[in-house]
Amino acid sequence: MNAVAEGLNALMDPTVAICLVAGLLIGTLVGAFPGVTGSMAVALASGFTLTLEPVQGLAVLLTIYVGANYGDRIPSILVNTPGTPAAIATTLDGYPMAKQGKAGLALVSSSMVTTGGILLSMVVFLLAARPVASIALKFGPAEMFALVVFGLTVMISISSKSVLKGVLAGIAGLAIATVGRDPITGDSRFVFDVNDLNSGLPFIAVIIGLFGIAELFDQLLTHRQQHIKPISSLGRWWPTKAEYKEMAKPFGLSTVIGTVVGVVPAAGGDIAGLIGWDRAKRMSKHPEKFGKGSLEGLAAADTASSATLGGSLTTTMALGIPGDSVMAVMIGSMIIWGLQPGPSLFTNNPDLMISMAAIMILATVLSLGISLVRMRGMVKLLDLPNHYLWAGILIFCIVGTYTTTNNLYTVWVMLASGVAGVIMKRTGFPPGPVVLGLLLGPLAEANLRRALLIDGPAILVTQPISAGLLALAALSLVLPLLGRARAARRARAEVAAPEDEPALTR
């Protein structure tokens, strides 16, 4: 009870309230602009939060995370352009509803199911995070190394269409993580007489470069004048009793789907939204309406994508493995604050877990209020010219990165990471495994070397938990390859079938 009281009492600080409101507004605005992702916004904000107290910084970052999950529905519904990847499935039925004159109904319904999905997923966080962390506390070096490998392979398998490119990106991240001092001996490695490299590459600068600058450069390079105007006729706003009842079943189903998907490392709201939409369609009495303006489809997609937040937070805080790209950025900030996400966090800082849950719940409730009260005003943001947005993002990237160390070296690292990020984006290499490798590389290396010192390589396969995790890691790489091979065979069979039909009829 002391931890609960201390965690809630920390939110009584007026500065925390200011940080919470600021993050909420930023997140909502960020989500409303197509192309500005939640991970990008959190990465930008992280540079400005490093001088804050942990609770204050988390209030900013977590509320941006929540707010973006509301704001991103606006462009998805009104201009058929997802504000963030998590809102991809929203376009399937949200935009058709808007074209039918039901934009207001779609926006309000989306906000309501998003609220329900996040709140229920936070219940899972409060109930499951500590037991999971208690189990993980029993992990030795071999188990921790295997856990990191599992998390990295899952992100590789999910974040890229090519497993090979994902593996290479992960290896690149692990290689970058070796720059600096040896975690065991303290000797300098790969610094090339550059003193700034002794402490390793500044991962906040790398993250801002890969997620912020890279996206900015990519949009500048591919920019085309947009002629699509947002739908201005919003129609009625509030669902009827029959429509609430219609949304109930997909809401319940997708809450479970989203929470489960969120627990899986690296599986974000985009995946959950599409799975939830597909499952709801299969269970619906009117599947033919899906994709044509179905309220069931909209509710299923938005509930599933939003319900990943609690599951993602559970995985990140209990195991130290990022649940999604936003959580990867969050881990970087927490490490700088002297907090290591993982099992020990619940032992050393139990009050912080309560504060985080309370921040997420408050942010969710306030986001719903903002969405319902100021929806018409946020719709007008879609008319803002992109070049103003890009200029602001560039300034925030540079200033935010510089403030982390007050050294221009970090700005150059950020810009170089941005160029690398654009090249990766254009060539199909995912940035997620690079970031995860950079963040967790030192943890993996230190635990691997400790495990080898204890009992040699055999310990990795003789310990049941580590062997099981390594087996799951291997499966996470092999199963996508098998699935793609089956899909290719099926496609070839479908192409060959029409060619055989004339022969059969003769």
Closest to 317 measured CA to CA, from 338, 337, 336, 334: 334
Query: CA–CA separation, 351 vs 354, rounded Å?
Result: 5
What are the pLDDT digits (tens) for 355-390? 888 998 998 988 888 777 655 555 555 555 666 767
The β-bridge partners of 188 are 181
Q: For the residues 66-80, what does the mean pLDDT come to?
A: 77
Q: Determine the average pLDDT of the residues in 237-265.
A: 85
Domains: count for the chain: 1
Return d(Cα 137, Cα 114) in angstroms, integer. Answer: 33
Residue 500 counted as domain residue: no
Residue by residue, DSSP assigns 284-330 as -S-GGGTTSS-HHHHHHHHHHHHHHHHHHHHHHHHHS--SSHHHHHH
> Per-residue pLDDT tens for 272-327?
887 888 888 888 888 888 888 888 888 888 898 888 888 888 888 888 877 777 78
pLDDT in tens, 473-483: 888 888 877 77
3-state secondary structure of 189: strand
SS (H, E, C) 129-185: HHHHHHHHCCCCHHHHHHHHHHHHHHHHHHHCCCHHHHHHHHHHHHHHHCCEECCCC
State in Å, rounded, how far the first CA of the chain is from the last one.
81
Residues β-bridged to residue 181? 188
Closest CA to 431 of 175, 126, 214, 274: 214
The verdict on residue 502 lying in a domain is no
Question: Tokens at residue 348, please?
Answer: 């050393």
One-letter identity of residue 487: A
Angle at 459 between CA 454 and CA 465, to 5 degrees: 120
* Residue 211 falls inside a structural domain: yes
Residue 503 has a pLDDT of 52
Cβ atoms of residues 42 and 4 within 8 Å: no
Q: What is the mean pLDDT of residues 326-353?
A: 82
- Residue 25 backbone class (left: φ over 0; alpha: ψ -120 to 50; beta: rest): alpha
In-domain check, residue 495 = no
State the residue range of the domain holding 39. 3-488
Give domain status of residue 505, yes or no.
no
Q: Is residue 506 part of a domain?
A: no
Give the pLDDT band (50/70/90) at residue 97: confident
Mean pLDDT of 321-343: 80
The predicted pLDDT at position 308 comes to 86
User: Residue 213 carries which DSSP code?
Assistant: I
163-187 tens-digit pLDDT: 788 888 888 888 888 888 887 777 8
Q: Would you say residue 497 lies in a domain?
A: no
Q: For residue 123, which of 350, 340, 364 has the smallest C-alpha distance? A: 364
Cα separation, 333 vs 339, in Å, equals 9
Element (H, E) at 369: helix 350-373
Mean pLDDT of the chain, nearest integer: 80
Q: Look at residue 423 in the predicted model and tell me its pLDDT.
A: 92
Give me the helix-helix angle, 432-455 and 163-177, nearest 10°: 70
Q: Which residues contact 65 (CB under 8 A, 6 or more apart)?
A: 27, 38, 42, 309, 326, 330
Q: What kind and span of H or E run contains 268?
A: none
Q: Is residue 417 part of a domain?
A: yes
Q: How far apart, in whole angstroms, are the C-alpha atoms of residue 275 and residue 259? A: 12
**Interior angle at CA 34, CA 30 and CA 35, nearest 5:** 90
Q: Which pLDDT band holds residue 227 (cuts at 50, 70, 90)?
A: very low
